[in-house]
Amino acid sequence: MKVRLLGIPIEDGAGRMGCEMGPSAYRTAGIVEAIAELDHEVEDLGNVTRGPLPTITPPHPHLRRLPEIAAWVGTVTEAAYRASDGALPVFLGGDHALAAGTVPGVARRAAEDGRPLFVLWLDAHTDFHTLDTTQSGNLHGTPVAYFTGAHGFHGCYPPLSHPVPPGNVTMVGIRSVDPAERRALSGSGVTVHDMRALDEHGVGSLVWRFLERVAAADGRLHVSLDVDFLDPSIAPGVGTTAPGGATFREAHLIMEMLHDSGLVSSIDLVELNPFLDERGRTATLMVDLLASLMGRTVMDRPTRSFAA
């Protein structure tokens, strides 16, 4: 499968600046070479440029950079749709607001190809706020509510052509949920595996169960990997660290299982803030995780197969 890299240098959704430098950091960390080494054809499309600012009347005064985010969402949706034509796109963030564009873009592609889209959300946070519930006003906390079709974005973010059914979304690594998100998630259909679930059942069995569901539905799978999914001790280059995150070994195991499944059709790498990183170690770890997802292994081993 051909791999397409697309940089999305958006930082308006995060509470602090720096994510704009993410795509450059991934390239400096050798992302092109790491994928090419695994015998994939790689095409780097460069970075997308945000379209013009729409005129929006913000429903609340504390929403930070709403016109900018709305413009990015439109631009990114179109770019993601195009990048997913006959290739596996890897979207290099940029903050997590970009998923309000990448997911709708690849959802449209999947729908046109007659396949259901599933989303694996690897994050400390659920990013399930609407424009009415966010308290911080940081719009990187809103993409999942938007792309699953929640109310509360009308007249601000672009109208959504292909919402992802909430039942197709599984979150892993969750350990920071605001009260309004928690209320909205209960009964939403979204599967939330918090850190308690990971500790109790092990990340392998939780992810395996989800992959079996995707395979049984003949689905496509979008993976959205937020740097803060990882424990801050191994991934300091992010503005919203939360203690008690996924370990190096848990993260690589998930990536290797995703590779074995053969189901992944698009990927976000988000929230890397190179200004906060320690000599590129977080960027390098993210590239290594992507390489595991793309087939890098320690030893050859037989692939577990799916009964789809």
- The active-site residue out of 140, 162, 193, 259 is 140
Partners of 38 in the beta sheet? none
Using CB under 6 A as the binding rule, whether residue 277 contacts ligand DIR is answered as no
Using CB under 6 A as the binding rule, whether residue 129 contacts ligand DIR is answered as yes
Beta-carbon count within 10 A of 60 CB: 11
Round to whole Å and give the CA distance between 249 and 272: 20
Q: Is 127 a catalytic residue?
A: yes
User: Which of the stretches 108-116, 156-164, 176-184, 192-200 binds Mn ion when contact is defined by CB under 5 A?
Assistant: 176-184
Q: Which two tokens stand for residue 125?
A: 């946070």
Please report how close the Cβ of residue 40 comes to Mn ion at its closest, in angstroms. Answer: 26
The total number of residues shown for the chain amounts to: 308
Q: Which of residues 213-232 bind ligand DIR (CB under 6 A)?
A: 228
Kind plus residue range of the DSSP H or E element containing 295: none
Partners of 92 in the beta sheet? 7, 269
228 labelled ligand-binding: yes
Q: Which of 228, 231, 260, 268 binds Mn ion (CB under 5 A)?
A: 228
- The active-site residue out of 11, 20, 96, 222 is 96
Round to whole Å and give the CA distance between 187 and 276: 37
Q: Which of 11, 226, 260, 277 binds Mn ion (CB under 5 A)?
A: 226
**Residues 87-106, mask of contacts with ligand DIR (x by CB under 6 A):** ---------x----------
Using CB under 5 A as the binding rule, whether residue 222 contacts Mn ion is answered as no
Using CB under 6 A as the binding rule, whether residue 136 contacts ligand DIR is answered as yes
Beta-carbon count within 10 A of 149 CB: 13
Half-sphere exposure at residue 270, Cβ-oriented, CA atoms within 13 angstroms: 31
Using CB under 5 A as the binding rule, whether residue 256 contacts Mn ion is answered as no
Give me the phi and psi of 121, to 5 degrees please: -105, 105
Using CB under 6 A as the binding rule, whether residue 28 contacts ligand DIR is answered as no
123 labelled ligand-binding: yes
DSSP H helical ranges for 30-95? 31-36, 66-83
252 labelled ligand-binding: no
Question: Residue 277: which of Mn ion, ligand DIR, none does it interact with, CB under 5 to 8 A by kind?
Answer: none
Using CB under 6 A as the binding rule, whether residue 134 contacts ligand DIR is answered as yes
CA-based nearest residue to 23, from 193, 219, 272 = 272
In the chain, the largest separation of any two C-alpha atoms, in whole Å, equals 56
Using CB under 6 A as the binding rule, whether residue 240 contacts ligand DIR is answered as yes
Q: Which two tokens stand for residue 8?
A: 């999305």
Strand ranges (DSSP E) for 94-210?
117-122, 169-174, 191-194
Q: Which of 7, 141, 219, 245 binds ligand DIR (CB under 6 A)?
A: 141
Q: Which two tokens stand for residue 284?
A: 């390098």
Positions marked catalytic: 96, 123, 125, 127, 140, 226, 228, 271
Q: List residues binding Mn ion (CB under 5 A).
A: 96, 123-125, 127, 135-136, 141, 178, 226, 228
Residue set of the binding site for Mn(2+): 96, 123, 125, 127, 226, 228
Q: List residues binding ligand DIR (CB under 6 A).
A: 96, 125, 127, 129, 134, 136, 138, 140-141, 178, 228, 240
